[in-house]
Chain A
Amino acid sequence: MTAPLASIGAAALGFLAAIGRLAIFTGQTLSHLVRPPFYGREFATALVQIGYFSLPVVGLTALFTGGALALQIYAGGARFSAEAVVPQIVAIGMVRELGPVLVGLMIAARVTSSIAAEIATMKVTEQIDALVTLSTHPMKYLTLPRVLAATLVMPVLVGVGDVIGIYGGYLVGTERLGFNAAAYLQNTADFLEPLDVVSSLVKGAVFGFIAALMGCYYGMTSDRGAMGVGRATKSSVVAAAILILAANFLLTEAFFSA
């Protein structure tokens, strides 16, 4: 009779415990921001790995999305004679929503998985223990540089994604849908507001923080063996994607609710 209730209770307690563990891990990570030593070389490496090497995937994702968005808005707008709003809607759609969210999800796929797999493998092969015996704190050496680099570099990636996405819409608009090039750019520039850009970059920073943190958290808490590494990698990407989408909703509410 009480078994279903007990199961629900156990699941709820497990969920709360997981949130608690993640909160403690986040606090520990942030606490190392103000406690030397700092590992500049690891930070620089993470910047290049997360930022520079993500540019192709971010660029291609944004380019195709911007182009598809222009086609959709043109086709949808034609139903009520609003085809002319393509530049404005592409701009606002890319900058406010699609740019940060798609870049965030691509980073979750590319970077979160990579961080989780790398750290989990280090854990199961005792490399994390080796770091400790070599007087190096794993959170300082592995977690903080990655989380900090992702938080700082993601706004840049989102900015690049926004521009390339708008350019994708511009290409389709001018080459396929017959828009005047100068008018398209003018409409885009006139319609965008500073808050649109600020919200986009802030979202980028938050999504970068989430993506790297999830990779580090699941890597550090991985179980043993190949299955443990696989589970950590999968869980990190799922958790990062869900948290990014949830954070996107909250940030949109914060920036744009009337």
Chain B
Amino acid sequence: MITLSDVHKSFGTNAVLRGVDLQVARGSSMVVIGGSGTGKSILIKSILGLVQPDSGTITVDGKDVGTGDRDAFLARFGMLFQGGALFDSLPVWQNVAFRLLRGALKRPKAEAREIAIEKLRRVGLSADVADRLPAELSGGMQKRVGLARAIAAEPEIIFFDEPTTGLDPIMSGVINDLIREIVTEMGATAITITHDMTSVRAIADNVAMLHGGKIRWTGPVADLDRSGDAHVDQFINGRATGPIEAIR
């Protein structure tokens, strides 16, 4: 269980998170929606400790994320970054097996490569791409390599930051299906950040909407269309008029 209680984060005078309360049950897939610049990425970076909240508490299975063995804590997570964040100087398989080539999870090189190729296959990429550099791949392929890297060490918790941004609808569908399959198959807890409503409906068990620095609404994805919240209605229907100002 991931729990955020009254989490605040400001950058200078810009208060991004203004008291976020959110719970994500173990093994469930939570999708956080909200407009651009509303702090969705800051939210998951706060859980990982990449951003330090100004106040509030964040716990994973009851333990404060700021305490205990940091490496052991991070070893429980996998993350797919918005732009892939692949290491350009390393071939694809070393990107995927990065965690398996060093640190506590280190394996022999041949075994790490084998696992990397298996994970690449899992996300629909052939072994041919293993020795290529990330710059030689298309955007969709880079995203899939990022996904393979996120699941390589079989983490308990996976974060997906804008997994379909910049992809065509077909590739978006492929990525959405992959995420859903992987999360179900691995039994992982997932938090996905997106404003792509197709992704929301494909990936989510539960949805939370972040607006004005707070969770505006949260509930099962089946209830999304009857949330009764004007902000949620405007967002999911993509209307220019409503309580959310189009110019922010």
Residues of A within 8 A of B (CB): 37, 39, 122, 125-127, 129-130, 132-136
Contacts and interface: CB of A to CB of B under 8 A. Distances in A.
A126 B103 contact: no
A126 B104 contact: no
Given A37-B103, A130-B79, A135 B85 contact: no
B236 interface: no
A129 B47 CA distance: 13
B102 A126 contact: no
Contacts of B79: 130, 133
A39 B102 contact: yes
A12 to B, nearest CB: 22
Q: Lowest 9 CB-CB distances: which A-B pairs, in order?
A: A130-B85, A126-B85, A135-B74, A133-B79, A126-B81, A135-B71, A134-B99, A127-B85, A134-B98
A135 B104 contact: yes
Which secondary structure dominates chain B's binding surface? mixed
Given A129-B50, A135-B105, 19 more contacts: A39-B102, A125-B83, A125-B85, A126-B82, A126-B83, A127-B85, A127-B88, A129-B45, A129-B81, A130-B86, A130-B87, A132-B50, A132-B74, A133-B74, A133-B78, A133-B79, A135-B75, A135-B103, A136-B103
Contacts of B88: 127
Nearest to A118: B89
A141 to B, nearest CB: 9
Interface of B: 45, 48-50, 71, 74-75, 77-79, 81-83, 85-88, 98-99, 102-105, 149
A130 B81 contact: yes
Contacts of B105: 135
A129 B103 contact: no
Contacts of A130: 79, 81, 85-87
A133 B98 CA distance: 11
Nearest to A121: B88
B16 to A, nearest CB: 15
A160 B99 CA distance: 39
A189 B15 CA distance: 68
Most buried by A among B48, B99, B102: B102
A191 B181 CA distance: 76
A17 B87 CA distance: 32
A52 to B, nearest CB: 17
Given A132-B48, A133-B48, A127 B87 contact: yes
A224 to B, nearest CB: 12
Nearest to B45: A129
Contact of A37 (B45, B102, B149): B102
Contacts of A133: 48, 50, 74, 77-79
A39 B103 CA distance: 10
Contacts of B82: 126
Nearest to B104: A135
A122 B134 CA distance: 13
A129 B81 CA distance: 9
B44 to A, nearest CB: 10
B99 to A, nearest CB: 5
Nearest to B49: A132
Given A129-B50, A130-B87, A136 B81 contact: no
* Most chain B CB inside 10 Å of its own CB: which residue of A125, A134, A135: A134
13 contacts: A37-B103, A122-B87, A126-B83, A126-B85, A127-B85, A127-B88, A130-B87, A132-B74, A133-B48, A133-B77, A133-B78, A134-B74, A134-B98
A136 B45 CA distance: 16
Nearest to B74: A135
Contacts of A125: 83, 85
Contact of B85 (A37, A39, A129, A136): A129
A211 B105 CA distance: 34
B102 A136 contact: yes
Contacts of A126: 81-83, 85
Contacts of B104: 135
A129 B99 CA distance: 14
Nearest to B72: A135
A134 B106 CA distance: 12
